[in-house]
């Protein structure tokens, strides 16, 4: 299982820090998209969210690529089948996270 770290890469127009998420061992980028702090933390935590109401993390999951979804789920020991549609993969991820 990989460990992740947030690397500050700059700021947005409002002065908020932007981050990349990298693997600790090897330093591979998990996402090359610049993320807000909450998006980076959600990605590192597998997109976990409170069950009571939708949160910003939900949109993070929906905006991830198939490769990003696959990498995130591998941290939970689950392999996704990227031959499936992205919407099916997002449903799988959300179902797993709700049951967690």
Q: Which range among 7-16, 29-38, 58-67, 87-96 has the greatest average pLDDT?
A: 87-96
Domain ranges of the chain: 4-99
Query: How do residues 3-35 score in pLDDT, each as one tens digit?
Result: 788 888 888 888 888 888 887 776 677 766 788
The two tokens of residue 9 are 């890469």
Q: For residue 35, what pLDDT is reported?
A: 83
Task: Single out the residue of 38, 30, 46, 31 nearest to residue 12, CA to CA.
Answer: 38
Model pTM score: 0.45
How far is the C-alpha of 20 from the C-alpha of 8, rounded, in Å? 7
């Amino acid at each position: 299982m990989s460990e992740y770290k947030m690397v500050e890469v700059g700021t947005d127009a409002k002065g908020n820090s932007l981050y990349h998420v990298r693997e600790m061992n090897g330093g591979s980028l998990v996402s090359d998209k610049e993320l807000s702090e909450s998006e980076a933390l959600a990605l590192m935590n597998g997109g976990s969210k409170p069950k009571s109401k939708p949160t910003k993390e939900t949109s993070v999951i929906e905006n991830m690529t198939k490769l990003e979804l696959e990498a995130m789920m591998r941290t939970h020991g689950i392999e996704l089948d990227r031959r499936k549609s992205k919407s099916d993969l997002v449903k799988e991820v959300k179902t797993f996270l709700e049951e967690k």
